[in-house]
Amino acid sequence: LRSFIKPHSLLYNASFNSSTTSKEKKWIQVVENESKKTACVTMQRLPANSLNLEFLNELTSVIKELEGKKFRGMILSSSSPTIFSAGLDINEMYKPEKERLKQFWTALQNMWKTLYVTPLITVAAVNGHAIAGGCILTLSCDHSIMVKPRTTIGLNETRLGIFAPKWFESVFVNTIGFRNAENALKWGTLFTAEEALKLNMIHEVVDSPAQLQEKAEEQMEQFLKIPEIAFKMTKNSLRKPFVDELISYEKEEQESIVKFISQDSIQAVLEKYIENLKGKKK
């Protein structure tokens, strides 16, 4: 969705061009509108925006930088025309060095804690597949809009032979209800945009990237009309308890994940999955 990071984006139209700045990180481009105090945050770790240690830390850093500048909101998007994010980088879990694996999982926890309760207004402009961790990025935003067709979203961890962490499950259950979440998690179901809309996984569906851009910007404008302190306090009151719950067991989870992923049986499953991916690329 490259149009999101161009100066002629509707959110940064001619009347605001003088206050628009673009900052290039390693895997993220941030276009800031100083006048509106909003930003477009575009993930560009191609081809799939897979979440590795450094990428997770970079995304967390970007959010905190915007918070520090007293920005009001951000639109999260992808520069890939077909993938929003394919989730966790499998290479972080295959034949891992245990200390890095622990750092990776800590970075994942920190990113989610930061995104989920950030006082920023967060709008996800989902222009492609949002799988596993990509699904959690979407569900953790205040508003999500997904383009159709040929896009899917969901938590497919069981298909890989692993399982979604407890706090992934909590976000999922809170969004679509226990029974729907239970079935989807067991089967590793990926939903079309239309199916996701019916389950309240996303808020809106559009037909094209151009419409996606327009809708995301319109939604941000509507959010900006809400008194800032009221929005922040309401969001924090609703979401902070779930972050506090993760904090209560995050160290324990880090240790258990390292043990689980390091098992020979799990490594064999991951190896087979990687081989299948390589086969599809040939």
Nearest alpha-carbon partner for 98 in 244, 259, 234:
259
**Catalytic: which of 33, 52, 156, 180?**
156
Please report how many Cα atoms fall inside a 13 Å half-sphere around the Cα of residue 137, on the Cβ side.
35
Name the token pair of 168.
């992934």
Residue 163 CA, distance from chain mean position: 18
Does residue 133 have an active-site annotation? yes
Alpha-helix residue ranges (DSSP H) falling in the chain: 53-68, 98-117, 133-140, 157-160, 166-176, 178-187, 193-198, 209-224, 228-261, 264-281
128 is catalytic: no
Q: Active site residue: 73, 87, 128, 133, which one?
A: 133
Q: Which residues contact 94 (CB under 8 A, 6 or more apart)?
A: 267, 270, 271, 274
Tokens found for residue 77: 């998007």
Of 59, 88, 137, 155, catalytic: 88
* Structure tokens belonging to residue 106: 């800590």
Q: Write the burial class of residue 170 (CB in 10 Å: 0-12 exposed, 13-18 middle, 19+ buried).
A: middle
- b/e map 175-202, b = 16+ CB within 10 Å: bbeeebbeebbeebbbbbbebbbebebb
* DSSP letter string, 122-170: EEEEE-SEEETHHHHHHHHSSEEEEE-SS-EEE--HHHHT----HHHHH
Point out the catalytic residue in the list 92, 157, 204, 217. Answer: 157
88 catalytic? Reply is yes
Q: What is the DSSP letter of 19?
A: G
Residues with catalytic roles: 88, 133, 156-157
